[in-house]
């Protein structure tokens, strides 16, 4: 293996090969949980570092002339925010290929993690969203109840483990790979998940293990056998509790993983709708929509603010989730749950009769798309329908930023933006953006 211990010269060419070890001054944070450094004019995205540190890093990818990827193997000058990793199986003293993935910020103090996430969101909204920095001053990533006291541990109510097809060992994938790493602990998981986790077991006939600990039901294990896509028990109904409101959810269906996340997002959407009501911008009798609606959590939040007579249609491609939404919204006389792809549903609305389109123009749309975002096509459809308000729940800052640019160009204004630390010790965050039609 080649080694280079000389300090990087920013003016010199920087030929790099996989396996090279170089000293790097880490200057910034990038989307995706990696930090940014430069080596001879080339950008290097380096894992397991913190901006402000000097590290020795091993090059893992150097195919691009403009940038390379590396992983920290030694900290030469540590940040005051560096901590012992919360997950021993992901710590720096392990070989990079043997570090468990899923806690890429676990070596950083919680307040600094949130500052870095805020920087990523602000940068994305400027670079990809077209916002001015003045519009983003003071943006903070808000902590969930109890996380500061627990150091951000014990929050995950849903964990997926994988099984090594050769050894049968159970564990998470290694960071940035699909290599299974056997582990002795799951520090981000709730006690209910940890209690049933088959750590140390051999499960040679199983491909994956999903651990689910509902807030109002017993923990359970869902097994994917062989190369099958269906998990045993995934359609079993489980109960979740959000405040004093119960929700029926399929055991294998989508639900937020942080124990507090459903209530945090429920409250954030409820508060956004309440703000619209106070501003005289919300019409409870309009054709209000909850897109990518899942089990109806956010439609229920809209009703919490606007009252049980609110008209709202929740649209979800997964038929099981739609069934759950119908059950969860049954007491709302104006609620409907429809199984459909969002883009196809909106396409039908675009060709609807003028009275339907008018009700849509007076309506409010809540949407919680997948990590890739709503995307240009869906945002263009929304722009064509021109609802009065859009409440956008996003789990990826770059996807949100790109969709923001589309909505701003269509005549919407960003009336509010909040961010939440629903995934401590990872680079992920959740945002809630409020758009109003100008």
Based on the domain organization, do 141 and 160 belong to the same domain?
Answer: no
**127, two tokens:** 């670079």
Per-residue pLDDT band at 65 (split at 50, 70, 90): confident
For position 230, what pLDDT does the model report? 81
Domain boundary among 236, 268, 293: 236
For 387, the token pair is: 């609802």
Same domain, 326 and 412: yes
The answer on pLDDT for 342 being more than 60 is yes
* Tokens read off for 388: 């009065």
- Are 177 and 262 part of one and the same domain? no
**Among the residues of 33-109, which ranges form H helices?**
none
**Same domain as 361, residue 293:** yes
Confidence of residue 1 (pLDDT cuts 50, 70, 90): very low
The residue with tokens 């919360």 is 86
For the entire predicted model, the pTM comes to 0.93
Q: Across residues 93-101, what is the average pLDDT?
A: 96
Spatial distance between the Cα atoms of 292 and 332, rounded to a whole number of angstroms? 19
Note if 379 is an active site residue. no
Q: Examine residue 91 and state whether it is found in any structural domain, yes or no.
A: no
Q: Which of 36, 65, 82 is the last residue of a domain?
A: 82
What average pLDDT score do residues 117-130 get? 96
Write out the two tokens for 27. Answer: 């200057």
The runs of H, that is alpha helices, within 258-396 are 261-278, 297-306, 319-328, 342-350, 354-361, 375-385
309 is in an annotated binding site: no
Q: What is the mean pLDDT of residues 67-85?
A: 97
* 326-341 mean pLDDT: 96
Does 345 carry a binding-site annotation?
no
Rounded Cα–Cα distance for residues 386 and 322 (Å): 25
323: left (phi over 0), alpha (psi -120 to 50) or beta: alpha
pLDDT given at position 13: 44
Could you list the residue range(s) of the whole structural domain that residue 364 is in? Answer: 114-148+258-437
> Per-residue pLDDT tens for 365-415?
999 999 999 999 999 999 999 999 999 999 999 999 999 999 999 999 999
Q: What is the CATH number of the domain that holds 49?
A: 2.40.50.140
- Give the closest residue to 432 by CA, choosing from 392, 397, 401, 404: 392
- The reply to whether 163 and 142 lie within a common domain is no
Under 8 Å between Cβ of 300 and 334:
no
- Mean pLDDT score, 414-431: 98
Residue 335 lies in a domain: yes
- 8 A C-beta contact, residue 397 and residue 120: yes
Per-residue H/E/C for the chain: CCECCCCCCCCCCCCCCCCCEEEEEEEEEECCCEEEEEECCEEEEEECCCCCCEEEEEEEECCCCCEEEEEEEEEEECCCCECCCCCHHHCCCCCHHHCECCCCCCCECHHHHHHHHHHHHHHHHHHCCCCCHHHHCCCCEECCCCHHHHCCCCCECEEEEEECCCCCEEECEECCCCCECCCCCCCCECHHHHHHCCCCCECCCEEEEEEECCCCCCCEEEEEECCCCCEECCCCEEEEEECCEEEEEECCCCCCCECCHHHHHHHHHHHHHHHHHHCCCCCCCCCEEEECCCCCHHHHHHHHHHCCCCCEEEEECCHHHHHHHHHHCCCCCCEEEEECCHHHHHHHHHCCCHHHHHHHHCCEEEECCCCCCCHHHHHHHHHHHCCCEEEEEECCHHHHHHHHHHHHHCCEEEEEEEEECCCCCCCCCEEEEEEEEC
**Is 92 inside any structural domain?**
no
225 has which bridge partners?
206
Residue 432: helix, strand or coil by DSSP? strand
C-alpha to C-alpha distance for 176 and 173, rounded to whole angstroms: 8
Taking residue 355's Cβ as centre, other Cβ atoms within 10 Å add up to 9
pLDDT in tens, 274-299: 999 999 999 999 999 999 999 999 99
pLDDT-derived band at 66, boundaries 50, 70, 90: confident
Q: Are residues 123 and 78 in the same domain?
A: no
pLDDT of residue 33: 95
Helix (H), strand (E) at residue 148: helix 147-150
User: φ and ψ at 106, to 5 degrees?
Assistant: -65, -10
**Per the domain annotation, does 99 fall within a domain?**
no
Query: Which DSSP category does 412 fall into?
Result: E
Yes or no: say if 396 and 408 are a contact pair by the CB < 8 Å rule.
no
342 and 376 in a single domain? The answer is yes
**What residues contact 336, with CB distance under 8 A and at least 6 apart?**
312, 313, 314
For residues 411-433, average pLDDT = 97
Q: Does residue 4 fall inside a structural domain?
A: no
Among 236, 267, 288, where does a domain finish? 236
Predicted local confidence at residue 12, as pLDDT = 47
Q: 3-state DSSP call for residue 117? A: helix
Q: Is 292 annotated as a binding residue?
A: yes
Q: At residue 10, does pLDDT exceed 90?
A: no
Residues 263 and 360 in one domain: yes
- What is residue 327's predicted lDDT score, i.e. its pLDDT? 97
Model pLDDT, residue 2 = 45
113 is in an annotated binding site: no
Q: What is the pLDDT of residue 229?
A: 74
Are 143 and 32 in a shared domain?
A: no
Q: For the chain, give me the number of helices (H) and strands (E)?
A: 10, 20
Among residues 46, 291, 395, 419, which one is catalytic?
Answer: 395
Domains of the chain: total: 3
253 located within any domain = no
Same domain, 288 and 403: yes
pLDDT above 70: residue 343: yes
Taken in order 197, 199, 203, 207, the sign of the CA dihedral is positive
Residues 218 and 323 in one domain: no
Asked if 211 and 331 sit in the same domain, the reply is no
Residue 252 placed within a domain: no
Is pLDDT of 164 > 90?
Answer: yes
**Lowest mean pLDDT, pick from 83-97, 182-196, 217-231, 379-393:** 217-231
CATH number of the domain at 402, please: 3.40.50.150
Helix (H, G, I), strand (E, B) or coil at 125: helix
Structural domain contains residue 13? no
Name the band, by pLDDT with cuts 50, 70 and 90, for residue 6.
low
């Amino acid at each position: 293996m080649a080694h280079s211990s000389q300090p990087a010269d920013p003016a010199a060419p920087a030929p790099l090969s996989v396996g090279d070890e170089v000293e790097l001054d880490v200057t910034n944070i990038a989307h995706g949980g990696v930090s940014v450094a430069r080596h001879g004019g080339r950008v290097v995205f380096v894992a397991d570092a913190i901006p402000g540190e000097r590290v020795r890093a091993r090059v893992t990818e150097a195919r691009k002339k403009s940038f390379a990827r590396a992983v920290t193997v030694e900290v030469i000058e540590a940040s005051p925010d560096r901590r012992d990793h919360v997950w021993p199986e992901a710590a720096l003293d392990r070989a990079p290929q043997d570090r468990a993935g899923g806690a890429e910020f676990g070596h950083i103090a919680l307040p600094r993690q949130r500052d870095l996430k805020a920087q990523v969101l602000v940068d994305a909204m400027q670079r990809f969203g077209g916002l001015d920095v003045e519009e983003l001053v003071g943006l903070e990533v808000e902590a969930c109840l109890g996380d500061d006291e627990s150091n951000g541990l014990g929050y995950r109510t849903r964990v997926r483990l994988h099984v090594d097809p050769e050894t049968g060992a159970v564990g998470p994938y290694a960071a940035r790979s699909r290599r299974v790493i056997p582990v002795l602990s799951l520090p981000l998981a709730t006690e209910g998940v940890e209690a049933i986790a088959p750590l140390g077991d051999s499960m040679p006939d199983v491909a994956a293990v999903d651990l689910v600990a509902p807030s109002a039901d017993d923990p359970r294990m869902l097994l994917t056998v062989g190369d099958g896509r269906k998990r045993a028990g995934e359609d079993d109904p489980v109960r979740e509790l959000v405040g004093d409101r119960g929700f029926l959810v399929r055991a294998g269906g989508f639900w937020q993983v942080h124990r507090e996340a459903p209530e945090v997002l429920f409250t954030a959407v409820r508060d956004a709708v309440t703000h619209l009501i106070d501003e005289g911008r919300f019409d409870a009798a309009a054709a209000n929509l909850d897109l990518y609606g899942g089990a109806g959590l956010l439609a229920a939040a809209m009703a919490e603010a606007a009252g049980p007579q609110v008209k709202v249609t929740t649209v979800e491609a997964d038929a099981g989730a739609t069934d759950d939404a119908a059950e969860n919204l049954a007491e709302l006389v104006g609620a409907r749950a429809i199984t459909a792809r969002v883009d196809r549903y909106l396409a039908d609305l675009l060709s609807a009769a003028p009275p339907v389109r008018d009700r849509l123009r007076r309506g409010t749309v809540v949407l919680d798309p997948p990590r890739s975002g709503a995307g240009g096509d869906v945002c263009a459809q929304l722009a064509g329908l021109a609802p009065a308000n859009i409440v956008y729940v996003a789990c990826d800052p770059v996807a949100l930023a790109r969709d923001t640019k589309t909505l701003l160009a269509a005549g919407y204004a960003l009336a509010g933006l909040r961010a939440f630390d629903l995934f401590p010790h990872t680079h992920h965050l959740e945002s809630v953006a409020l758009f109003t039609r100008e």
